[in-house]
Amino acid sequence: GDPRHAALAPPAAAALYGLDVLRPEVEDDPDNTTRFVVLSRDAAPAPDAGKPTMTSVFFSVRNIPSALYKALGGFASSGVNLTKIESYQIGAGLGASRFYVEIEGHPDDERVALALDELRFFSTEVRLLGVYPADPHRLKA
């Protein structure tokens, strides 16, 4: 009820929460895909390995030359598709960065497990944020 607050959300969210839609279809490209993330303190069961699956990972690279190249090398050599990567600088310094990536595959798949092992070797921190079924829209691409 506070007019100073707004949200970008799918129409279903407006219906679910009784929100007024001020402007529909705000995307600048009809093929635009917006990701909505739901985080929980309690883990939800992951889909079975072998089915079309996505995995979201957060990691911090070591502060060494070519750290990102080395950290991501396991994905390339294992044939794991990286579909999204975002970088985040740690504080105001010029030290190592943090990254958010989305990959195709399940952590229990052999090729994904190998890639994550290599990522861990070249990183100071690796967190699996989620393992979830791939959206049918992604499968058509």
Reply yes or no on whether 36 is catalytic: yes
User: pTM of the entire structure?
Assistant: 0.73
- Catalytic residue, chosen from 36, 55, 75, 124, is 36
- Catalytic residue, chosen from 33, 34, 59, 122, is 34
**What range defines the domain where residue 69 resides?**
53-140
pLDDT recorded at residue 95 = 65
Q: What's the rounded Cα separation, in Å, for the pair 127 and 58? A: 5
Say if 113 falls within a structural domain: yes
pLDDT recorded at residue 140 = 66
Say if 81 falls within a structural domain: yes
**Two tokens, residue 131:** 């393992």
pLDDT of the chain, 141 residues: tens digit per residue: 677 878 888 888 889 988 888 888 888 777 777 666 677 777 777 777 667 899 999 999 988 888 899 999 999 999 999 999 999 877 666 666 899 999 999 999 999 999 999 999 999 999 998 898 888 777 665
Asked if residues 75 and 96 have their Cβ atoms less than 8 Å apart, the reply is no
Strand partners, 59: 99, 126
Q: How many domains does one find in the chain?
A: 1
